Homo-oligomer: A and B are copies of this chain.
Amino acid sequence: MKLLEDRIRRDGVVKAGGVLKVDSFLNHQLDPALFMELAKEWKRLYEGTEINKILTIEASGIALATAAGLEFGVPVVFAKKAQSINLDGEMLTTKIRSFTHGRVYDVIVSKKYLKPGDRVLIIDDFLANGAALEGLISLVESSGAALTGVGIAIEKGFQPGGALIRSRGVRVESLAIVESMDENTGEIIFRN
């Protein structure tokens, strides 16, 4: 999606270790108007697919998922990263390894909000090694809901997550796929 690629080229910063900083518009400061454009693109891509729920994971995914929920006209559920005393009832749980934070955390969703009959679109800001997405897919599978597909803002095409998850037959629509980045020149090449 040209709009997103242009924005990444303009405002993204390539750092050492394959890090792409987009915290000026995607995951610390947020551009809600841009997010509505991304949501419209996911809506176009999933036209004709029945979807009645958006699933994401806290924290950065929530804003994009909210935009998608508005565009699709469906509720959003966000998976939580730790047990909270304000969450009761039965929970679906999984474990996700965070490469960013170097630890494994529990992720939970209430069985009340993800269940058989739901047709779920997963939305997240990044897809890199695929750990978070694998966790969300596992939550959908254990809930008995149907996974209709995934919408990602930025996929790091040089990391294995996208290929791995597509190879399992899951539809993944990434709006910008970074093929390679050069931390010295700052150049970013997108997959066509």
- Decide yes or no: A77 and B32 within 8 Å by CB, A86-B100, A100-B84, A113-B24 being known contacts: no
How many copies of this chain sit in the oligomeric assembly? Answer: 2
A21-B86, A63-B63 are contacts. A28–B80 as well, Cβ < 8 Å?
yes
B-binding segment of A64-72, A138-146, A171-179, A180-188: A64-72
Q: Does residue A191 face the partner (Cβ distance < 8 Å to B)?
A: no
What 0/1 pattern do residues 3 to 33 of A give for CB contact below 8 A with B?
0000000000001000101011101111111
Give residues 46-74 of A contacting B (CB, 8 Å).
58-59, 62-63, 65-67, 69-70, 73
Give A98-127 as 1s and 0s: 1 = Cβ < 8 Å from B's Cβ atoms. 001100000001101100000000000000
Identify the 10 closest CB pairs spanning chains A and B, nearest first: A58-B59, A32-B69, A29-B113, A62-B62, A30-B76, A63-B66, A32-B70, A59-B59, A66-B66, A29-B77
A15-B88, A28-B77, A63-B63 given. 4 additional CB < 8 A pairs? Answer: A21-B88, A23-B86, A29-B76, A58-B59
A contact residues vs B (CB 8 Å cutoff):
15, 19, 21, 23-25, 27-33, 35-36, 58-59, 62-63, 65-67, 69-70, 73, 75-78, 80, 82, 84-88, 100-101, 109-110, 112-113
